[in-house]
Amino acid sequence: MEFFPILPLKMSGQLSRQCTHSKGDEVADNSNLDKLLKKYDRPGPRYTSYPMVPVWKSDFGHEEYVRALENSSKKPDEPLSIYLHIPFCRQRCWFCGCNTTTLKKEGTHNSYLDIVDKELNLAADLLSKRRRVSQFHWGGGTPSCLSNENTVKAFEIFSRKFKIADNAEVSIELDPRITDEERIQLLKSLGFNRLSFGVQDFNADIQTAIGRNQDEKKTVELYRYCRDEGFQGINFDLIYGLPKQTLGLFKDTVRKTIDLGPDRIALYNFAYLPDSKPHQRLIRSEDLPSPSEKIELFLTAREMFLESGYKLIGMDHFVLPEDELAIAQSEGRLRRNFMGYTVKASEDWLGFGMSSISYVDNSFAQNLSTLDLYQKKIEEGSFAVYRGMRLSEDDIIRQYLIADLMCNFKIDITELENKFKITFNKYFGDTLEALKIFQDDGLLIEEADAYTLTDMGKIFIRNIAMAFDSYLKGNDLKVQFSRTV
Ligand code: SF4
């Protein structure tokens, strides 16, 4: 169980891994790594949002969200990002932490889309003329669960009310087990241009241990078909720390992934939380790698991706150098929101569907997380927001800093001072000592007008972000976080 406040990592032994064949400048010099892992590996937020979700408030609801949308409508020419949550799966994979159900009937999916349509109409009325969309993402659950008819219906619900820009990023998460070529053709005709494949691990024994049997041949054939159809920006989700995952087996998965060459790879850390996610009890805890083995899985995969030419984005995403995310990062314009890393993020993003999250007019808002409650609220003519938060000026400054750190590996002092009219050393005076320690540990370099992460610092990026998180200071948050490394 992982709770904040911080607990030191109990290492079961020295890591055997050493970097013996470093080529690229992004492969970390890890001679000091064991020491730093002992010092820094601890539970902490992932910073997909700042402030983090556990500090959002239950008194942020329908009225507050309406006000945020009304304010947002005052910028009619600004684009929007939209997320659609499809909370359905064919069956529950034992490792999965997503908010989903296993309701399979087409009628249920159809009625759900009718409710989403109602929610969309509520929002569209308040947004008035603000309707241009630069980023449209479908996630879940798995949107692959929908029939072709419901896929078209879901798309049309949105395209009737919003103008999806010609150059918009239109992306979808796919379960390769239940996605066929006909579906890919349909997605292409609708305008989807980014696909994300749930892969997790190619090994059949590991798949059995997580209740997700996924034929490797089918995944590879579907991937090749998508390539032949001209899709760019294809992502593979991989997970390290799964039951029965050994270094040798995971290296096979990483090698196969590199050989296939998806444009993007998200390498997620498996968080085993059987108390809050009871379905994870189907996983035998004795099959899980130890904490030190898990770190070795991550660092080895990281090194293999970097050595094969992938560029590091954030802590655990890898992209081909010619991918637009890598180019955006080198130009300092990479952005991140709940949908992932992007170059098309707008200031405001709207989530639709059960449990979805919105960020509008500097306010977070999250929908109810069960189908019945979400549906009931929308049918009553109200938004289904059950928690959220309006950000203070201080939150916005820290949010900007942490986002820049996570996306572009730096803290741009001049930009922060100019944008927010602050003096960095004064404003963050209580953090300077921590920054000095990060520098002494070789994680940060202080330059004239910026702090830049070293290659080693990129491994501990969440720890550095935590130093700027005002909600972690002096708070006894009883929250389960994944480990920072
Ligand atoms: S991993 Fe994907 S398909 Fe499996 S339960 Fe989670 S969302 Fe559903």
- The CATH number of the domain holding residue 343 is 3.80.30.20
Q: Is 143 in the pocket of ligand 1 (CB under 6 A)?
A: no
Distance 228 CA to ligand 1 centre (A): 26
Task: Tell me how far the alpha carbon of residue 395 is from its chain's centroid.
Answer: 20
In a domain, 378, yes or no: no
Q: Which residue has the higher pLDDT, 436 or 13?
A: 436
Q: Give the residue, by CA position, lying nearest to ligand 1 atom 7.
A: 141
Same domain membership, residue 212 and residue 125:
yes
Q: pLDDT tens digit string along 207-259?
A: 999 999 999 999 999 999 999 999 999 999 999 999 999 999 999 999 999 99
Q: Which of 318, 351, 384 is the last residue of a domain?
A: 351
Same domain, 324 and 402: no
Average pLDDT, the chain: 90
pLDDT over 90 percentage in the chain: 75
Ligand 1 close to Cβ of residue 92 (< 6 A): yes
Neighbours of 278 (CB within 10 A): 9
Domain-located, residue 4: no
Q: Which pLDDT value is given to residue 478?
A: 61
The Å distance, Cα 86 to ligand 1 centre, comes to 11
Is pLDDT of 27 > 80? no
pLDDT of 485 reads 62
Confidence check: pLDDT of 12 > 50:
no
d(CA 172, CA 473): 37
Same domain, 40 and 88: no
Residues 304 and 440 in one domain: no
Substitution site in 88, 96, 355 for ligand 1 pocket (most atoms within 8 Å of beta carbon): 96
Q: Is residue 224 part of a domain?
A: yes
CA angle 137, 144, 284 (to 5 degrees): 105
Q: What percent of the chain has pLDDT over 70?
A: 91
401 and 335 in a common domain: no
155 lies in some domain? yes
Average pLDDT over residues 410-420: 96
Question: Which residue out of 90, 92, 173 has the highest number of ligand 1 atoms within 8 Å of its CB and is therefore the one to mutate?
Answer: 92
Give the Å distance between the CA of 179 and the centre of ligand 1.
Answer: 13
How far are the Cα atoms of 302, 319, 359, 432, 464 from residue 437, in angstroms, in the given order?
Answer: 25, 30, 34, 9, 10
Q: Is the separation of the CB atoms in 312 and 329 below 8 Å?
A: no
The phi, psi pair for 16, rounded to 5°, reads -80, -20
Backbone angles phi, psi at 457, to 5 degrees: -60, -30
- Tell me whether residue 365 is in a domain: no
Closest CA to 380 of 39, 119, 190, 192: 119
Mutate to test the pocket of ligand 1, among 91, 99, 101, 142 (most ligand atoms within 8 A of CB): 142
User: Residues 304-332: pLDDT tens digits?
Assistant: 999 999 999 987 899 999 999 999 988 88
Q: How far does the centroid of ligand 1 lie from the alpha carbon of residue 77, in Å? A: 36
What local confidence, expressed as pLDDT, does residue 216 receive? 97
pLDDT score for 484: 66
Domain boundary among 320, 351, 382: 351
In this structure, is residue 212 part of a structural domain? Answer: yes
Statement to judge: residues 86 and 37 lie in one domain: no
Whether 37 and 65 share a structural domain: no
Q: Is 100 in the pocket of ligand 1 (CB under 6 A)?
A: yes
Whether the predicted pLDDT of 10 surpasses 80: no
Check pocket membership of 103 for ligand 1, CB cut-off 6 A: no
Let me know whether 88 and 38 are in one domain. Answer: no
Asked whether the beta carbons of 173 and 143 are under 8 A apart, the reply is yes
Whole-number pLDDT of residue 476: 59
Ligand 1 centroid to residue 434 C-alpha, Å: 39
Distance CA 80, CA 360 (A): 10
Q: How confident is the model at residue 48 (pLDDT cuts 50, 70, 90)?
A: confident
Q: Is the pLDDT of residue 17 over 80?
A: no
The set of residues, in sequence order, having a beta carbon less than 8 Å from that of 144 and lying 6+ positions away, is: 173, 174, 175, 178, 179, 183
Contacts of 69 (CB under 8 A, 6+ apart): 123, 126, 127, 360, 361
Q: Which atom of ligand 1 is nearest to the CA of 89?
A: 8
CA 341 – ligand 1 centroid, Å = 21
Nearest C-alpha neighbor of 131 from the set 78, 53, 206:
78
Its domain, for residue 464, covers: 33-44+393-472
Residue 117 sits in the same domain as residue 98:
yes
**Domain end call among 299, 330, 351:** 351
Q: For residues 321 and 24, is the Cβ–Cβ distance under 8 A?
A: no
pLDDT of residue 292: 84
Give distance in angstroms: CA of 119 to centre of ligand 1.
Answer: 24
Is 23 part of a structural domain of the chain?
A: no
If pLDDT is split at 50, 70 and 90, which confidence band does 271 have?
A: confident
The whole-number average pLDDT for the span 456-466 is 92
pLDDT value of residue 8: 27
CATH number at residue 409: 1.10.10.920
pLDDT band at 129 (very low <50, low <70, confident <90, very high): confident
Convert 151-165 to b/e letters by CB count within 10 Å (16 or more is b). Answer: bebbbebbeebbebb
Question: Do 76 and 38 share a structural domain?
Answer: no
Q: How many angstroms separate the alpha carbon of residue 366 from the centre of ligand 1? A: 20
141 lines ligand 1 (CB under 6 A): yes
Q: How many C-beta atoms surround the C-beta of residue 74 within 10 A?
A: 10
- Nearest residue by C-alpha to atom 4 in ligand 1: 93
Output the CA 198–ligand 1 centroid distance in Å: 8
The yes-or-no verdict on residue 429 having pLDDT over 60 is: yes
Structure-token pair, residue 323: 């991918």
Number of folded domains that form the chain? 2
417 and 325 both lie in a single domain: no
Q: What is the pLDDT of residues 162-182, one digit of tens each?
A: 999 999 999 999 999 999 999
Ligand 1, from 102, 172, 212: best to mutate by most atoms within 8 Å of Cβ? Answer: 212
Give residue-wise pLDDT tens across range 91-117.
999 999 888 899 778 899 999 999 999
Same domain, 327 and 448: no
Ligand 1 near 175 CB (within 6 A): yes
In this structure, is residue 341 part of a structural domain?
Answer: yes
Confidence band for 481, pLDDT divided at 50, 70 and 90: low
Q: Can you tell me the ipTM of this complex?
A: 0.99
To test the pocket of ligand 1, the residue of 93, 102, 138, 282 to mutate (highest count of ligand atoms within 8 Å of its CB) is 93
> If you measure from the C-alpha of residue 268 to the centroid of ligand 1, how many angstroms do you get, rounded to a whole number?
14
Q: Which of 366, 463, 460 is nearest to 4 (CA)?
A: 463
